[in-house]
Amino acid sequence: MPIIESTTSIDQTQLLFFSVSEHLFALGIDQVKEILECPDVTQIPMTTNVIYGAFNLRGHVVPVINIALRLGLEFDGLHKRSSVILIDKTTVSSTTHVGLLVSSVKSIRPVDISELEPAPVYGLPLDRELIHGMMYVKEKSCLLLNIQNLLSLDALKETIFANQ
């Protein structure tokens, strides 16, 4: 079974590349609903800092996950290039928009599936369950995130309790 399904041709897939705290990550573009300039986010009282806050998007409240803290990285603050990647989180009963706060969006480009390698067993600063695989972009390692595991409620609860 391939690491990620192809969205362009048999040998290629489209990926969205972005940075979080100086690290390079990617998501399959088919998982991305929208990319927004960082909106005014309202802090939510009595939540952990993994939940950055929420904002109003065309009449819908959208929670924002601080991806740096979710991945166990240091949050380097907001910058003028900070963005929110909007993802649809689907459960059995509903679909909800969720925002992922990232340091900057780099590009969207096709990638040969053969460039993707499985996540290494050792040496990752992250939980392997959060990673689909990895690749090198201009000699810099890039981790392909597993968005289902990243946004799973059980995993978020674990992260919240670990960061308290």
Q: What is the pLDDT of residues 87-139, one digit of tens each?
A: 988 776 777 889 999 999 999 999 988 888 887 776 666 677 788 888 888 88
Beta-strand ranges (E) seen in the chain are: 12-20, 23-28, 32-37, 51-57, 60-66, 83-90, 95-102, 104-112, 131-137, 140-145
HSE toward the beta carbon, residue 71, CA cutoff 13 A: 27
Question: Where residue 136 sits, what CATH number does that domain have?
Answer: 2.40.50.180
Mean pLDDT for all residues in the chain: 82
101 within a domain of the structure (yes/no): yes
Residue 45: pLDDT band (50, 70, 90) is confident
- Each residue's pLDDT tens digit, 144-157: 998 888 887 555 55
Residues whose CB falls within 8 Å of the CB of residue 102, separated by 6 or more in sequence, listed in order: 18, 19, 20, 25, 67, 82, 83, 84, 85
Residues spanned by the domain of 132: 12-162
What six digits make up the tokens of 9?
Answer: 């041709």
Tokens for 162, please give them.
């670990």
Tokens linked to 75: 């949050």
The answer to whether residue 49 is domain-embedded is: yes
At residue 162, the pLDDT reads 47
- Show the tokens assigned to 16: 């969205």
Decide if 5 is inside a domain. no
Answer whether residue 117 is part of any domain.
yes
**Residue 5 predicted with pLDDT over 80:** no
The pLDDT of residue 10 = 61
Residue 4 lies in a domain: no
From CA 12, how far away is CA 112, in angstroms rounded? 4
How many domains in the chain? Answer: 1
Asked if 102 and 83 count as a contact pair (C-beta separation under 8 A), the reply is: yes
Q: Do the beta carbons of residue 32 and residue 86 sit within 8 Å?
A: yes
Max avg pLDDT among 64-68, 89-93, 159-163: 64-68
Over residues 160-164, mean pLDDT: 46
pTM: 0.82
* For residues 28-50, average pLDDT: 89
DSSP state of 70: H
Any domain includes 23: yes
* Confidence (pLDDT) at 62: 92
pLDDT of residue 68 exceeding 70: yes
Question: Which tokens hold the place of 112?
Answer: 């040969």
- Asked whether the predicted pLDDT for residue 164 surpasses 70, the reply is no
Tokens encoding 111: 């990638």
3 within domain boundaries: no
